[in-house]
Amino acid sequence: MCHGIELTETIVQSSMKAVGQYFQNIDYHEEKNRRIQVMMPFQNNKKNLGGYSSYIMHDMPIHPDFEIEEDLIESENSIIYQQAENRMHVQKSLLLHLLET
């Protein structure tokens, strides 16, 4: 894989990760604002869910109110923290397996 190319699940995640890299850097202030403006219509929020009560998942880290509305993170349909816990157990299991071989 080439340097500078990162495997992500969606274009939104890729763009938001790029925003996060430069989020605090004053030199990238205009670019950050441009990317936020472009990506906000694709934010996971109640309006975009259109009344559906689907489970809310996220691979972490979360940037509240950017890629996902903060209310959805803590909603009753959110399984974000369970997903993160499951991932932690899988990572521990994989590490244990690798250390035993």
Say what the pLDDT of residue 31 is.
83
DSSP H or E run through 85: helix 80-100
For 64-96, how does the pLDDT look when each residue is reduced to its tens digit (9 = 90+)?
888 899 999 999 999 999 999 999 999 999 999
The answer to whether residue 3 scores a pLDDT higher than 70 is no
pLDDT at 12: 57
Kindly state the average pLDDT of the residues 25-39.
Answer: 85
Give dist(CA 24, CA 6) in Å, integer: 21
> pLDDT: is 16 or 66 the higher one?
66
What pLDDT does 76 receive?
94
Q: HSE (CB half, 13 Å, CA atoms) of 91?
A: 6
User: Are 29 and 35 contacting, i.e. CB atoms less than 8 angstroms apart?
Assistant: no
